[in-house]
Amino acid sequence: MAVHTVKQVMESIRKRESKPSEWVERALERIERLDGRIGAFLALDEQALAKARALDERAPDHPLFGVPYALKDNICTEGLRTTAASRILANYVPPYSATVARKLAETGAVLVGKTNLDEFAMGSSTENSAFQKTRNPFDLERVPGGSSGGSAAAVAAGMVPFALGSDTGGSIRQPAAFCGVVGLKPTYGRVSRYGLIAFASSLDQIGPFTRTVEDAAWVLNAICGHDPLDSTSAPLPAEDFTQGLDAGVQGLRIGVVTDIDTTGLDPEVKRAVDAAVAALARAGAEVVEVSLPHCQYAVATYYLIAPAEASSNLARYDGVRYGLRVETDSLVETYERTRSEGFGTEVKRRIIIGTYALSSGYYDAYYKRAQQMRTLIRQDFEAAFARCDVIVTPTAPTTAFRLGEKIDNPLQMYLNDLYTIPANLAGLPGISVPCGLSSQGLPIGLQILAKAFDERTLLRVARAYEQVRGFELPVPDVEGAAR
Amino acid sequence: MVRISEDTVRQVAKLARLAVSDEEAQRLAPQLDEILSYAEQLQEVDLKGVAPTSHPFPLFNVLREDEPRKSFPREVMLANAPDTDGEQVRVPAVLEG
Amino acid sequence: MNFETVIGLEVHVELKTKTKIFCGCETTFGAPPNTNVCPVCMGHPGTLPVLNRQAVELALRAALALNCRINQDCKFDRKNYFYPDLPKGYQISQYDQPIGEDGYVEIEVGGERKRIGIVRVHLEEDAGKSMHAPDGSHSLVDYNRTGVPLIEIVSKPDIRSPEEARLYLETIRSIMQYCDVSDCKMEEGSLRCDANISLRPVGQAAFGEKTELKNINSFRFVQKALEYEVERQTAILRSGGKVVQETRRFDEATQTTVSMRTKEEAHDYRYFPEPDLVRLHIDDEWLARVRATVPELPLAKRDRYMRELNLPAYDAGVLTSDPGVAAYFEQVVAAGADPKAASNWVMSDLLGYLNANNLSVADSPVRPAQLAGLIAEVDKGTISIKQAREVFKAMCETGKDAPVLIKELGMEQISDEAALLGIVDEVIANNPKSVADYQGGKEKALGALVGQIMKATKGKANPAVVNKLLLERLGKPGGNA
């Protein structure tokens, strides 16, 4: 069965060649057929088809009208269980919806289900889900990346035309690279975080997974904008990110980072990224060398700031007002048992690191230094962007690794995020676009970064690359791969 | 050089209201030590006089007007609570006095 | 050895906003449990705080009234600790950049002014309320109060006696009420107080070991609890013992303080900047605008009443103890009444009536202009003071103006000399003995004649006019007509 882009679905509905319910049925059928092997979804919205049928009667009034989609299960949906893939929220039914979910509902897009993730978005493989493993549609023995692995796999396998994820240190871009789809992390503040179950508040950002760059622009149009419920949301007017997408790269300067750490970089990934840079140059871009001297400290900085914020953000899971409670006679014991049984190993590990980094006597040495380093990393980017319009790097140093390969070595897992983390620390927009397949048939991602709030240039370059890259990304043969 | 002992793990876990078994403490201590040792890199850099960044962008004064919005019905707000008396959330006795 | 008492107070004041500090839930006191709540103040996953502008302005006004230096660039921080009534597992507060720092208030102790330093004033959110089952089996939590805006006012250890502590607390309350920042109702918890107290040998600079007294819930108890602590610590030190640093609470039944015996657990609040809120920048224009809303404060007002209105210190003190009373008094004066007369009426009759009926001055059935009208009738001589008291009572009951009631009660005084002269002559004629006594030098005999005239006129005769007429007829006492 053919796999469709957001744009194809949109146009078909707009031209009244098809109805929303047909697309939702198709999505549900494909999920039914494939998801037993992939494990992308934690839950389906039983109302999806009914909602789509109600739309069938209406005239399409928005580009995303009738387009089925999925949400990472750390985005709250009123009346629909939202778990963050944690036992502690296994039965949590939010009394409200996230701003992005509300916005998408208003456009007429149809939510079909909630996707798997690393518990509380902490991880790079989706193996930290308390409920299930998600497999890479290109190779079922491999991880889809993470933490938004479910959303990436769902789009890669053609189960939905788009899905939303969240990106704190690469959690959209890295799984997009591993699964061969487009993954966009907008500028911090571009998309409201209201209703996104917080991991690290100063780094978290919601963004789309799509099959094409243009699709990403359509989804960003629908979810961006100032939200009075999120104090950190940027007070900017809505923009149309599909405008100027096809302007090409003639006259743009592409920054290549000279001092990036390449110790763990897979040669095949390096070759693909070099080829992508060459393709952009051929298309008319000027390639310039830039330096990001403090990015070598990005992972260390990130692994202090993110756990510190997380240790506080996750304090609310105490078994009092919602979520799991392991009842004992004593309050303190109830807290301790609830949290110990409710959280998985990686979450506990990060809570302990973060608590340590904030505790008295260590704050200045750890948290404060990390915040200072964050300033230097931001300044590095400011200097680099004075010389170029976008920066390109690999999204991840390797292609998708095997299930279980890194689960026992947290530091190795963290180091996998070294190319994606700097954009979160600096709040910049970044995108991963497929730039080839490895000899094993695994997707490779090209990361493009731009100045804050310059998603237009980011998307323009990504789109230009997509057109000159010279290959069609295959739809993974999930059923074949299982044979 | 950091040295995270099992005792440190237990103390910090206590602050974070996590119960850790001896086994867990034993496993976590070297892992945390490795991660924090990696973070020691930051000590190499001279950061004197560098302002800390707690937000990517310097927004300020995001304020709302003092206008009431309807509260949520009690039954909705208590629906997720593990234990209530119908009006209030019930918890094991809070020790005092 | 003699000891000096050193006290510092931490006062929490709930701000008078319509809605909570970070969400739109209302702050009404006494609502049924868990009805003023929403996902934000109940700390649901994914929710975010948005700061209430009015809370900032009230905190700013309070800090200015307490003579603080304003941190025009400040931020919020998270104070992390676990408690069932703290939904997020942290309290949003201000740590190293409070909105106000380094201020002071003046109190009056035994007629002398004394300055008590303020370390800081910061803005934060209140927690919910836990009720503990009497049998100790469980606690119940109500989140209505969660997220009500608070300021914490931390004094320097400048307070030297329990009485000063009470006076300081009363002064803080009065300033907050004047600024319309808070109701400061201790019984409703909108004003709460913790105290740190230590003793040191007179002349020693270093502080002694302190104890912290928690949640003292009335002005009287603040002084009582501290007095008890002074005695307790003195006894310990006199007997060569050591004061243990601990948290204690006041037991109302025994009028003593008791150790709270909390498990010795190091508090490590792990403060860090709140990433869900942005910085606060109070520019000069905003600051000036709020500064203009700080009203004349009680002590300044009191000085002015004494200086400009020639009121005795006692009157000025009573009238300025409550901003509503002061405002009422000023309106009576503005309506033309003599300040001292207005003061007498407000302090005795008005406050007496309001207190007896448990009313606040805002609920007074007699408006300031009406009271001024009553005072004018006395000044004109239409009625006597004694009658005016009766009229005032009637005004309280009916809300009618004084002239109307004077008519209704038939109280107009007779001041017409021609009308009174006949009665005066008649009384002189009928009381020769009194006349003779008076003329013989007994000045007091005149009173008897006045009494007879008043009796004959049913009390309506204007005593001043009667006096004048009698003197005209009888001449000076002891002299002969």
Per-residue pLDDT tens over the stretch A203-232: 999 999 999 999 999 999 999 999 999 999
Q: List residues bridging with A449 in a β-sheet.
A: A391, A430
What are the structure tokens assigned to A27, written together?
């999505």
> Which of C48, C78, C139 is closest, CB to CB, to A193?
C48
Percent with pLDDT over 90 in chain C: 70
CA pair distance A314, A347, nearest whole angstrom: 9
Query: What is the average pLDDT across C198-220?
Result: 91
Residue of B nearest to C280 (CA): B61
Residue with tokens 């929403």: C38
Chain A nearest CA to C127, separation (Å): 14
Range of the domain at B37: 6-43
Range of the domain at C470: 417-474
Contacts A–B by Cβ distance under 8 A: 175
Model pLDDT, residue C318: 92
Per-residue pLDDT for C229 more than 70?
yes
Please report whether residue C290 resides in a domain.
Answer: no
Are residues C194 and C62 part of one domain? yes
Are residues C18 and C70 part of one domain? yes
Average pLDDT of chain B to the nearest whole number: 91
Are residues C441 and C378 part of one domain? no
Per-residue pLDDT for C277 more than 70?
yes
Chain A hits for C39, Cβ within 8 Å: 94-96
Task: Output A21 or C469, whichever has higher pLDDT.
Answer: A21
Please report whether residue B16 resides in a domain.
Answer: yes
Please report the residues numbered 444 through 473 in chain A whose beta carbons come closer than 8 angstroms to any beta carbon of chain B.
452
Which H helix or E strand runs over A27? helix A20-38
Long-range contacts of C372-376 (CB under 8 A, 24+ apart): C372/C331, C372/C332, C372/C333, C372/C335, C372/C336, C372/C337, C372/C342, C373/C335, C373/C401, C373/C402, C373/C403, C374/C345, C374/C402, C375/C332, C375/C337, C375/C338, C375/C341, C375/C342, C375/C345, C376/C336, C376/C337, C376/C402
| CB of C87 less than 8 A from some CB of A | yes
Chain A nearest CA to C36, separation (Å): 15
Per-residue pLDDT for A202 more than 80?
yes
Query: What is the average pLDDT across C238-258?
Result: 90
Percent with pLDDT over 90 in chain B: 79
What are the structure tokens assigned to A327, written together?
């009842």
Query: What is the average pLDDT across A105-110?
Result: 97
| Per-residue CA distances from A164 to A213, A216, C54, C440 (Å) | 14, 10, 36, 112
Are residues C305 and C271 part of one domain? no
User: Tens digits of per-residue pLDDT, A423-458?
Assistant: 999 999 999 999 999 999 999 999 999 999 999 999
CA pair distance A82, A73, nearest whole angstrom: 6
User: Tens digits of per-residue pLDDT, C133-163?
Assistant: 888 889 999 999 999 999 999 999 999 999 9
SS3 category, C121: strand
Residue with tokens 């799991």: A324
Query: What is the average pLDDT across C233-241?
Result: 94
Q: For Cα atoms A312, A318, A321, give the angle at the middle one, nearest 5 degrees.
A: 115
SS3 category, A234: coil
SS3 category, C159: strand
Are residues C306 and C394 part of one domain? yes
Are residues C228 and C156 part of one domain? yes
All chains having 3 or more CB pairs closer than 8 angstroms to chain C: A, B
User: Tens digits of per-residue pLDDT, A291-301?
Assistant: 999 999 999 99
Please report whether residue C258 resides in a domain.
Answer: yes
Per-residue pLDDT for A113 more than 60?
yes
Of C234, C253, C285, the domain-final residue: C285
Query: What is the average pLDDT across C43-59?
Result: 98
Listing DSSP states for C74-110 in one string gives E--EEEE---TT-TTSEEEE-SSS-SEEEEEEEEEET
Chain B hits for C130, Cβ within 8 Å: 91, 94
Residue type, A194: Y
Number of domains present in the structure of chain C:
3
Per-residue pLDDT for C305 more than 90?
yes
Query: What is the average pLDDT across C396-423?
Result: 85
Model pLDDT, residue C411: 78
Cis ω on the peptide bond leading into residue A147 (within 30° of 0)? yes
Of C408, C425, C453, the domain-final residue: C408
Residue with tokens 């006199």: C238
Whole-angstrom Cα Rg for chain C: 31
pLDDT band at A114 (very low <50, low <70, confident <90, very high): very high
User: Tens digits of per-residue pLDDT, C453-478?
Assistant: 888 887 788 888 888 888 888 887 66
Chain B nearest CA to C41, separation (Å): 10
Model pLDDT, residue B58: 83
> Which of A95, A232, A355 is closest, CB to CB, to B59?
A232
Model pLDDT, residue C3: 94
Rounded to 5 degrees, φ, ψ at C197 are: -140, 135
Number of domains present in the structure of chain B:
1
Delineate the domains of chain A, giving CATH numbers in brackets. 6-258+383-403+422-482 (3.90.1300.10), 296-373 (no CATH)
Just list the catalytic residues of A. 72, 147, 171
| Residues A24/A110, Cβ–Cβ less than 8 Å | yes
Please report whether residue C192 resides in a domain.
Answer: yes
Could you tell me which residues come within 8 angstroms of residue C386 by beta carbon, excluding any fewer than 6 positions away?
Answer: none
Query: What is the average pLDDT across C260-287?
Result: 86
Are residues C243 and C277 part of one domain? yes
Please report whether residue C460 resides in a domain.
Answer: yes
Are residues C112 and C57 part of one domain? yes
Residue type, B6: E
Chain B hits for A300, Cβ within 8 Å: 38-42
Average pLDDT of chain C to the nearest whole number: 92
Rounded to 5 degrees, φ, ψ at A126 are: 65, 5
Are residues C139 and C265 part of one domain? yes
pLDDT band at C481 (very low <50, low <70, confident <90, very high): very low
Query: What is the average pLDDT across C58-62?
Result: 98
Chain B hits for A428, Cβ within 8 Å: 56
Residue among B39, B48, B37, B47 at smallest CA distance from A377? B47
Cβ within 8 Å, pair B57-A189: yes
What are the structure tokens assigned to A420, written together?
């994606």
Please report the residues numbered 112 through 171 in chain A whose beta carbons come closer than 8 angstroms to any beta carbon of chain C.
none
Rounded to 5 degrees, φ, ψ at A287 are: -95, 125
CB atoms within 10 A of CB B46: 6
Please report whether residue B33 resides in a domain.
Answer: yes
Model pLDDT, residue C78: 97
Please report whether residue C164 resides in a domain.
Answer: yes
pLDDT band at B1 (very low <50, low <70, confident <90, very high): low
CA pair distance C285, C294, nearest whole angstrom: 15
Are residues C421 and C403 part of one domain? no
Residue type, C326: A
Percent with pLDDT over 70 in chain A: 99
Residue of C nearest to B17 (CA): C82
Parallel, antiparallel, or unpaired for β C51-52 and B63-64?
Answer: parallel
Which H helix or E strand runs over C468? helix C463-474
CATH at residue B25: 1.10.20
What ipTM was reported for this prediction? 0.97
Please report whether residue C252 resides in a domain.
Answer: yes
CATH at residue C455: 1.10.10.410
Rounded to 5 degrees, φ, ψ at A458 are: -55, -50
CA pair distance B59, B20, nearest whole angstrom: 40
| CB of C128 less than 8 A from some CB of A | no
Percentages of chain B per state (helix, strand, coil), in multiples of 5: 40, 10, 55
Model pLDDT, residue A481: 55
Interface mutation vs chain B, best among A232, A299, A352, A424, most B CBs within 10 Å: A352
Of C358, C389, C408, the domain-final residue: C408
Per-residue pLDDT for A14 more than 70?
yes
Model pLDDT, residue C438: 87
Are residues C89 and C9 part of one domain? yes
Please report whether residue C432 resides in a domain.
Answer: yes
Query: What is the average pLDDT across A401-406?
Result: 94
Cβ within 8 Å, pair A316-C276: no
DSSP conformation class of A75: B
Per-residue pLDDT for C264 more than 80?
no
Chain C nearest CA to A202, separation (Å): 6
Please report whether residue B66 resides in a domain.
Answer: no
> Which of A197, A230, A315 is closest, CB to CB, to C90?
A315
What are the structure tokens assigned to A246, written together?
């096809």
Per-residue pLDDT for C266 more than 70?
no
Chain A hits for C48, Cβ within 8 Å: 193-194, 229-232
What are the structure tokens assigned to A198, written together?
């917080």
CA dihedral A393, A399, A400, A401 (to 10 degrees): -120
Model pLDDT, residue C479: 54
Starting at the edge strand found earlier in the chain, the sheet holding A253-257 runs A41-44, A110-115, A68-72, A162-167, A205-210, A182-185, A430-437, A443-450, A390-394, A253-257, A286-290
CA pair distance C311, A250, nearest whole angstrom: 85
Model pLDDT, residue C190: 93
Chain A nearest CA to C200, separation (Å): 30
Are residues C242 and C307 part of one domain? no
Residue type, B89: V
Model pLDDT, residue B97: 35
Per-residue pLDDT for A136 more than 80?
yes
pLDDT band at B95 (very low <50, low <70, confident <90, very high): low
CB atoms within 10 A of CB C328: 24
Query: What is the average pLDDT across A64-76?
Result: 98
Average pLDDT of chain A to the nearest whole number: 96
Please report whether residue C293 resides in a domain.
Answer: no
Model pLDDT, residue B55: 86
